[in-house]
Amino acid sequence: MSSFPHNLFSNEHFAVYGLGKNGAAVVQSLLAMGAYVHAWDDKTPSLPHHDRLTLAPISNLTGMSALILSPGIPHNLPKPHPIADLARAQNVPILSDAELLFQAVRKAGSQARFVSITGTNGKSTTTALLTHILQTAHVPCAAGGNLGIASLALPLLPDEGVYVIEMSSYMLERLHQFHASTACLLNITPDHLDRHGDMAGYTSAKKHVFDNMTPKDLAVLGQDDPWCDAIAHDLEERKIPFTLIDPDHLPEFEASALPGRHNRQNIAAVWAMAHHLGLNDKDIRSGLSSFPGLEHRLQKVAEYDGISFVNDSKATNAEATSKALASYDRVMWIAGGVAKAGGIEMLVPWFDRIDHAFLIGQDAELFAQTLTKHGVSFSRSETLDKAVPEAFQKARQSDVKTVLLSPACASFDQFRNFEDRGSYFVQICKHIMS
């Protein structure tokens, strides 16, 4: 691994709008590659002074190599931001930082391969698992994108290196030249419809993960939903080799940090991708057995009096929570926050696994109505501070051995993000144990 050449983008000008974690990293990376950067945000940015950095809004994009928008800023639906309209009018490409990374790697002369991973659920675990397996097999690799490090902040890899990029639908909409030799679409269920308009728009965005692929590449595709089925037909017409994720026909392996059938699907996807990247079954098994799991994703954070506390704060929709409930026989379930479209109706097949629910957050009453309709007992705990000890005490009085935080909701009514929510859950668990 090495740094990109300091003159890679010398004399080029880039506009960056949105200076959160991702945008700030893009600015610093572009400056390190010799570019002139014009950056701004609705809030006062806190970036260090640089001779090639201008921190001020601009009304003319003429001469810009590209406009990089933070992922949350719409360039199309539901309504384009005015700067996106200006970019189109002046023929300035609107790029994601993953696209910019691809262009930078090729411009620097490296033929490192790219793996892109997307899906409504499971993409972070799949990205982290594949990266871990590559690392244990001593393959030069770097992971980023929607998971952790901004794509453009990753180091320059040699020709034999592999970039593993987790792609959100927002990032995928802004790809142009990006070419993945291996691309994976795990699943598609309704999400981000406020941004994409409807399922057709959301599916269209996800489908970009397979753009620019050739018959030498491999697409890995879920097979549990009609949207993935339609994309499989499209890949056939394009003569792109693809494999369907099959969790029922895996070789023997050990992966204690990855419980549940949904994780078998993630493992099956990783197995196919790792094979295509040249790894053998021994390499894959070795990485699986040592994988520590990811924070906030079915993460067992404590055990006290024989009761396990599981942090699945990343479950921000009902589909993700269904995977969690399916992984345990009986649970004390902590749920709630800002509900997604459809609430928790799709969880009805797993309601018999809920001994008692402890509801928190803005849409607790919506969940209460659904649980009442289906005869599931619950308490209106309102906050995690109340819900966790209440769930623990009720578990001690029963034969239930798992307290599960899997909210099926966004977190921004009470927390900054799902990480903040999960970390607070861990704090409460530690307090109970002390």
90-105 pLDDT, tens digit per residue, is 999 999 999 999 999 9
* CATH of residue 195: 3.40.1190.10
In contact, 184 and 126? CB cutoff 8 Å? yes
Region 300-325: what's the mean pLDDT? 94
> Does residue 5 lie within any of the structural domains?
no
> Does residue 323 lie within any of the structural domains?
yes
Q: Do 81 and 177 fall into the same domain?
A: no
Q: How many CB atoms lie within 10 A of CB 94?
A: 23
> Does residue 4 lie within any of the structural domains?
no
* CATH of residue 419: 3.90.190.20
172-226 pLDDT, tens digit per residue, is 999 999 999 999 999 887 666 566 568 788 888 889 999 999 999 999 999 878 8
- Amino acid identity, position 199: M
Q: Do 277 and 139 fall into the same domain?
A: yes
293 is in an annotated binding site: no
214 is in an annotated binding site: no
Res 349: pLDDT? 98
Listed in sequence order, the residues at least 6 apart from 207 whose beta carbon sits closer than 8 Å to its beta carbon are 185, 231, 234
Q: What are phi and psi of 141, to 5 degrees?
A: -150, 165
Res 196: pLDDT? 57
* CATH of residue 43: 3.40.50.720
In contact, 422 and 311? CB cutoff 8 Å? yes
What is the DSSP code string of 371-424? HHHTT--EEEEESHHHHHHHHHHHHHTSS--EEEE--SEE-TTTSSSHHHHHHH
pLDDT at residue 43 tops 90:
no
* Closest C-alpha among 68, 66, 61 to residue 19: 68
CA–CA separation, 222 vs 323, rounded Å? 15
CA–CA separation, 406 vs 401, rounded Å? 16
CA–CA separation, 71 vs 144, rounded Å? 14
Q: How many CB atoms lie within 10 A of CB 226?
A: 10
Region 237-242: what's the mean pLDDT? 94
Count of domains for the chain = 3
Region 7-26: what's the mean pLDDT? 95
* Closest C-alpha among 53, 39, 145 to residue 102: 145
**239 to 135, 175, 187, 235: CA distances (angstroms):** 31, 21, 21, 6
CA–CA separation, 209 vs 171, rounded Å? 10
Q: Do 145 and 228 fall into the same domain?
A: yes
> Does residue 375 lie within any of the structural domains?
yes
Name the more confident of 71 and 267.
267
Res 203: pLDDT? 85
Res 192: pLDDT? 63
Res 75: pLDDT? 83
> Does residue 6 lie within any of the structural domains?
no
> Does residue 3 lie within any of the structural domains?
no
Q: Do 257 and 380 fall into the same domain?
A: no
Of 39, 64, 95, which closes a domain? 95
- Amino acid identity, position 103: Q
CA–CA separation, 44 vs 120, rounded Å? 33
- Give the tokens for residue 317: 């929709």
* Closest C-alpha among 356, 352, 338, 344 to residue 319: 344
201 is in an annotated binding site: no
121 is in an annotated binding site: yes
Of 257, 272, 290, which closes a domain? 290
Of 290, 313, 337, which closes a domain? 290
CA–CA separation, 395 vs 307, rounded Å? 7
In contact, 121 and 322? CB cutoff 8 Å? no
In contact, 166 and 176? CB cutoff 8 Å? no
119 is in an annotated binding site: yes
CA–CA separation, 287 vs 153, rounded Å? 25
125 is in an annotated binding site: yes
Q: Do 110 and 76 fall into the same domain?
A: no
Q: Do 425 and 306 fall into the same domain?
A: yes
Pairing between strand 299-304 and 307-311?
A: antiparallel
CA–CA separation, 197 vs 174, rounded Å? 17
Q: Do 144 and 55 fall into the same domain?
A: no
Q: Do 185 and 78 fall into the same domain?
A: no
CA–CA separation, 161 vs 19, rounded Å? 29
Q: Which domain holds residue 80?
A: 13-95
Q: Do 160 and 264 fall into the same domain?
A: yes
- Average pLDDT, rounded, for the chain: 94
Q: Do 255 and 327 fall into the same domain?
A: no
Q: How many CB atoms lie within 10 A of CB 13?
A: 18
> Does residue 167 lie within any of the structural domains?
yes
Res 423: pLDDT? 98
Which of 43-47, 200-204, 279-283 has maximum average pLDDT? 279-283
Q: Do 119 and 243 fall into the same domain?
A: yes
286 is in an annotated binding site: no
* Closest C-alpha among 154, 110, 113, 145 to residue 126: 145
Res 237: pLDDT? 92
Q: pTM for the complete prediction? A: 0.83
> Does residue 237 lie within any of the structural domains?
yes
CA–CA separation, 5 vs 357, rounded Å? 55
CA–CA separation, 133 vs 360, rounded Å? 37
Res 194: pLDDT? 64
Q: Do 90 and 236 fall into the same domain?
A: no
